[in-house]
Chain A
Amino acid sequence: MMRQAFRHLARRRWLSNVPESTVYGGPRPQDASSSAAARRVTVTSLRGKHRRREPITVVTAYDYPSAVHVDSAGIDVCLVGDSAAMVVHGHDTTLPISLDVMLEHCRAVARGATRPLLVGDLPFGCYESSSTQAVDSAVRVLKEGGMDAIKLEGGAPSRISAAKAIVEAGIAVMGHVGLTPQAISVLGGFRPQGKTVDSAVKVVETALALQEAGCFSVVLECVPGPVAAAATSALRIPTIGIGAGPFCSGQVLVYHDLLGMMQHPHHAKVTPRFCKQFGNVGHVINKALSEYKQEVENRTFPGPSHTPYKITATDVDGFASALQKMGLDEAANAAAAAAENAEKDVKLPENN
């Protein structure tokens, strides 16, 4: 389809994980405003926010446009989540998505978001077998996906070891405890966690273990407020909550849910209870699509202002003659009539 050259303010991400402020510099952005590069979010700047008690914002993105939007809104962290399996691919769980497909999502996001910290999810099945497998997958997410860090779920000893090995490979790791969607098989569904004393204590202990393994932050999903508060207080690293109340160091929501992407009159989609809808994009999309369809069907679109390509009058004549010589009289007439009517700005009835 026709695309014009795309002028945008976003700088191309050079897929380097080296922030500009380090000793060895890093690739210089090619535009004049290098201040943009200086503002890039790193694990260091997140640490600063956490220390100053400034809440950290995280939103998921899965493709180039959503990444551009998350970047322009000034969100701190952009998570390329395996929730893509559900919101982008239409599955009922996060399990079906492969690492290769996740990497495509990561690359698309990296092209669109140059400022936020980029975290790529390790999808179900690519890191649970062994620490070796986990490190290999994490390496791919950074090398091929262009991410700054990875996220993995769970707190079993093997997971803690995997997280440690990944950190030792030089890759920043964000943990994820509480409701871990990749484990719904064992959990028996998307069930909130930490609702009993034992479970609550476990959440805190797991978060601490992940901190010890070297994680730079931990996501707390769907646990009661007090449990999240306890974990947040016990940790030196920031917690990022989702359905975990207001006492975390930051919050994360799924792009489509917070935008109301699936909400529109004919299609009720139940958003998770903890997610506030900050927009009704689905409704706006439905209206726009319906209007376009209607204008096509009553032939209002395209009008003259959306019919930009012209052929000179002489050429139209030449064209019509040539068509007649080919025996295509109807076509010749249609061309001539179209040229006339284009000038008069009158609709021609369909030539069927």
Chain B
Amino acid sequence: MSQFSRLLTPRVHLNNSGFFPPSSIISPSSLSRQLRCTPPPHHSRVSRRATSNGAPAPSPAPPEPAAVYGGGGANQQAAAPRRVTLATLRGKHRRGEPISMVTAYDYPSGVHVDAAGFDICLVGDSAAMVSHGHDNTLPISLDVIIEHCRSVKRGAARTFLVGDLPFGSYESSTPQAVDSAVRVMKEGGVDSIKLEGSAPSRISAAKAIVEAGIAVMGHIGLTPQSVSALGGFRPQGKTVDSAIKVVEAALALQDAGCFAVVLECVPAPVAAAATAALQIPTIGIGAGPFCSGQVLVYHDLLGMFQHPLHAKVAPKFCKQYGNIGDAINRALSQYKQEVETQSFPGPSHTPYKLAATDVDAFLNALVDKGLNAAADAVENTEKEINGTPQLNKIYA
């Protein structure tokens, strides 16, 4: 079995000024870690920086911040959290601990998935549907997938990243497949790739990619990139022949060197059989509880599309753990209402002030330029700010 230790894919991060950070930041735990110079963990990247030139963010905000997008103190942990590697996954599988996997497509979702402690984060070509609004996964290009990978990578420091090879980037030939996989790793910054299918040409492609030093996750059962040939998003493995094919495909992908295989939309007994037959873990979606791990699409499990006015049918096998769509709708409606009733922004969200002396000078300058209405507006504004309640006359 190939050993894809971290030594093969060291990640070197430069801090913002372009220099390797001091070695005190490097945590000493393992050899592979020492090959990477990591910046402070991702939490600090998320806090908005006070200035663009790398100056450290100020801690408690002054009454009126000098900079707009003030970075608060970064939530740094004492030591970087342990990165998930193939060894971690192998250990979990060996001990019978289910592997948790979920998709992400951008920086915020990468941050959330990382913070929730998932083992694996998949930058899926399902982006074509959930991010880009297409009806299937076919339209998305390799360039766009790579952008998604980069965004997620910026947010996820700990979780094991898998990048999907999109439709059209790997089916023509084995060299094409290797080239695409290399691009996803090189430019996308992920830890491994996933490809769909199990035809002999795919098995060869998987093998060649593994030989190029890239960890490969297989994907069989319902393979969404094949909706054309499959005649739609149809579950697989529902007849004896089809079920056998699923097991054989899984074994072939294992022999080619895959480190795991996704089983999508197959009956539970078929998934159980494949899981038992393999030495590598299976990750199920719509495949029942007998896999080594589970994966779901971010938007589906969060209920991103569920809200009163916009009914979106989530897949049957997907449990909704939240109703984000509803929460978003309520928040946006609230914002709209407060803008329309002019309650937002109130004084607490109007932080920038003009000194009193400057207000007068400003007024005079406006009058000099013949902008009398503007000058009146300033005067009225000052009255309102200073507590004289008035109706809005700004549109005079």
Contact = CB atoms under 8 A, between A and B. Distances in A.
Contacts of A38: none
Given A201-B362, A233-B373, A303-B289, A311 B267 contact: yes
11 contacts: A2-B285, A2-B315, A90-B154, A195-B354, A204-B366, A233-B376, A279-B334, A292-B100, A297-B100, A311-B270, A319-B273
Given A7-B311, A53-B392, A246-B392, 10 more contacts: A4-B316, A6-B129, A89-B106, A93-B52, A226-B359, A269-B46, A278-B334, A307-B288, A315-B239, A352-B93
A25 interface: no
A348 B290 contact: yes
A273 B321 contact: no
Interface in A320-336: 322-323, 326, 328, 330-336
B373 A284 contact: no
Contact of A75 (B50, B266, B284, B332): B332
Contacts of A185: 52
B11 interface: no
Contacts of B45: 90, 92
A197 B275 contact: no
A336 B106 CA distance: 41
Contacts of A108: 131-133
Nearest to A269: B46
B9 interface: no
Nearest to B139: A107
Interface residues of B, number: 162
B329 interface: yes
A73 B366 CA distance: 39
Interface in B264-322: 264-277, 284-290, 292-294, 296-297, 299, 301-305, 307, 309-313, 315-319, 321-322
Interface in B146-191: 147, 150-151, 154-155
Most chain B beta-carbon neighbours within 10 Å: one of A112, A191, A224, A351 = A224
A69 to B, nearest CB: 5
Interface of A: 1-10, 50, 53-55, 57, 59, 62-65, 67-70, 72-75, 86-93, 101, 104, 107-108, 111-112, 179, 184-185, 188-192, 194-197, 200-201, 204-205, 222-227, 229-234, 241, 243-247, 249-251, 253, 256, 258-262, 264, 266-270, 272-276, 278-282, 284-293, 295-297, 299, 301-303, 306-311, 315-316, 318-319, 322-323, 326, 328, 330-339, 342, 347-352
B317 A2 contact: yes
B337 to A, nearest CB: 9
Given A274-B345, A282-B112, A291-B321, A230 B275 contact: no
B65 to A, nearest CB: 6
B25 interface: no
Interface in B337-386: 338-340, 342, 344-346, 349-354, 358-359, 361-362, 365-366, 369, 371, 373-378, 380-382, 385
